[in-house]
Amino acid sequence: MIALFDEKLLTIKRFEPKTILVNEGSIPNEMFFIIKGCIRAWYNADGQDITLQFFFEGDPATSLESFLKNTPSTINIETLEECEVGILKKADFSDLLKTDPKIRELFYETAIDKLFIYSNRLLSLLKDKPFLRYQQLLAENPGIFQRIPQHYIASYLGVTPVSLSRIRNRK
């Protein structure tokens, strides 16, 4: 996706691990495309840290809702590893959305794809038990436990870190 944007509009930057890119309560004015590294979106539920999504190389990382509605973000976005990202300014992106039908088309397609991803994840949370969700995650992304602290994966799967540790040591 990043390849579609004019290089003049993109700023390449490096971030240390655990750098907050989008802060809960603030309105983000940038969009991040991951070139190298990984990023996590999480929700603060009264101190309880809930991982909503992991982003990897090639993924765009944003709080879509606040980006679209211009409202304060309800989620936080932070780097997990040292990251190299392409940064696109919100104003530039908005211009493109208005003027470039291809970008607009692509953007809506991306949103609709995300809709299906969410709906599948919802279904999995409704029908599958944690153990099966763990196995499926491992099948989709075998290296994830080598890249991401386990307790972040736990909340992503909807279980406690203790429970995930138990699940992993099941035969």
How many residues sit close enough to a second copy to count as binding (CB under 8 A)?
Answer: 25
Q: How far apart are CA 110 and CA 30, in angstroms?
A: 18
Q: How far is the CB of 105 from DNA (least distance, A)?
A: 39
CA neighbor of 111 nearest in space, from 56, 69, 57, 83: 69
Contacts with a second copy in 89-148 (CB under 8 A)?
Answer: 108, 111-112, 114-116, 118-119, 121-123, 125-127
Token pair 């709080």 is found at: 63
Q: Which is nearer to a second copy, 66 or 83 (CB)?
A: 66
Q: Which residues pair with 31 in a beta bridge?
A: 88
Q: Which residues of 101-116 are buried (b: 16+ CB within 10 A; e: fewer)?
A: eebeeebeeeeeeeee
Q: Per-residue x/- marks for DNA, 86-115, CB under 7 A?
A: ------------------------------
* Residues in touch with a second copy (CB under 8 A): 43, 45, 48, 50, 52, 64-65, 68, 108, 111-112, 114-116, 118-119, 121-123, 125-127, 155-156, 158
